[in-house]
Amino acid sequence: MSVHEERRSTASVIARPDLSQLLQSLHARGYTTIGPRLEEGAIVYGEVATVDELPVGWSDEQEGGSYRLKHRADGALFGYTVGPHSWKRFLCPPVRKLWQARKDGDGFTVEQDETPPPHYALIGVRACELRAIQILDDIYLGGSTVDTDYQRRRQAMLIVAVNCGQAGNTCFCASVHAGPHVTGGYDLALTEVIVAEDHFFVVTTGSGRGDEVLADVPHRPATSAELDMADAIVAETAHHMGRTLETAGIKALLYRHFEHPRWDEVAERCLTCGNCTMVCPTCFCFTVEDTTDLTGTVAERWRRADSCFTTAFSFITSGSQRASAKARYRQWLTHKLATWQDQFGTLGCVGCGRCITWCPVGIDLTAEVAALRAEDIGQS
């Protein structure tokens, strides 16, 4: 029996009115529920205490440099694609104190932050975002040095995934095999189904914790027809991705065209604002900042999210090593799709499309790669 068949054989159905008990069960187990919510004209991630705080009956329209909310009539709870936030803000917060040192006679004492990690239940994690979390796991936990703060947050976290019922115009997760079907890495996974007056969630569990939570929520075994409906929704989503990215030989392609004039063309448009790195769920660069108080008694070391689009990021003694916009854009895109493979053995991109939507001038990495490919015929 394949994994998919096994999941189908154990899948359940939760009726729409009973979903609130899922959140109640999570709260009773000590979790703070974090999920999508409407804020300042976008769907972002924040604390969601009740199902009614989800963006019920809302959707979005995305294009290069454009994001708009719109109503939908069916009252769907998860009827939109990903917004400007990603889960990395809860796994590796953009600003974090690493340690502080206090003057102590002739020496000093280093004081580590012993605050227990937050217990977050992430609600509505999409397939591309699960892949992004796996990538962050490789970065922070997979090397010779483990980031213990990330590790503690990750272990305390529970994930309620959601299969995508629609693809956005800037989505291309299917091209990079990161979605839209959720295949693992979750505690519970939901597929929202709305047919006429019927509104329910097909649910599978992926861990013992997921089984325990589901046991608190009224549910029944899914019928074969309900499972077929759920599978059809995700299959349909896969066929409506707004973008595609051909990944075959992409590393060699980018290395071959390191000096291509296309980099000059994109640099003329790029504002080097760094938006693409801030919204990207896998961009993880940071800088370290030391401070002291006015009395010289306490020194602190802080970690702050940084971006390869700043000149300061590559500053080494004599100046910035990537002084031009061309050098910085090329570094970012080449890292995502080529050098990431050398570093971690995978692509650094999960096809979420955020960098396309939230780029103020609509620069699109899929178009940049396609342009290089178009002139590459016969050279591979």
Residues of this chain that bind ligand SF4 (CB under 6 A)? 270-276, 279-282, 309, 329, 336, 349-355, 359-361, 363, 365
Distance CA 203, CA 192 (A): 9
In the bound complex, what is the minimum distance in angstroms from residue 43's beta carbon to ligand SF4? 16
How far is it, in rounded angstroms, from Cα 13 to Cα 36? 22
Residue 188 near residue 209 (C-beta atoms within 8 A): no
Q: Which CB atom, from 4 or from 304, has the smaller least distance to ligand SF4?
A: 304
The secondary structure of residue 240, as a DSSP letter, is: T
Q: To the nearest whole angstrom, how small is the minimum distance from the Cβ of residue 366 to ligand SF4?
A: 8
* Shortest distance (Å) from residue 170 CB to ligand SF4: 8
Q: How far is the CB of 281 from ligand SF4 (least distance, A)?
A: 6
Strands 315-316 and 319-320: antiparallel
Q: CB of residue 85 vs ligand SF4: minimum separation in angstroms?
A: 12
Distance of closest approach, residue 373 Cβ to ligand SF4, in angstroms: 17
Pairing assessment for the beta strands 286-292 and 220-221 based on DSSP bridges:
unpaired
Cβ proximity to ligand SF4, 64 vs 210, nearer residue: 64
Which DSSP helix (H) or strand (E) runs through 340?
helix 340-344
**Smallest separation, CB 248 to ligand SF4 (Å):** 17
The tokens for 177 are: 């095999």
Tell me the two tokens of residue 60. 């979005």
117: buried, middle or exposed (CB in 10 Å: 19+, 13-18, 0-12)? Answer: middle
Q: How many alpha carbons fall within 13 Å on the CB side of residue 21?
A: 13
Peptide bond into 281 cis (omega under 30): no
Q: How far apart are CA 39 and CA 56, in angstroms?
A: 13
**Contact at 8 Å (CB) between 338 and 255?**
yes
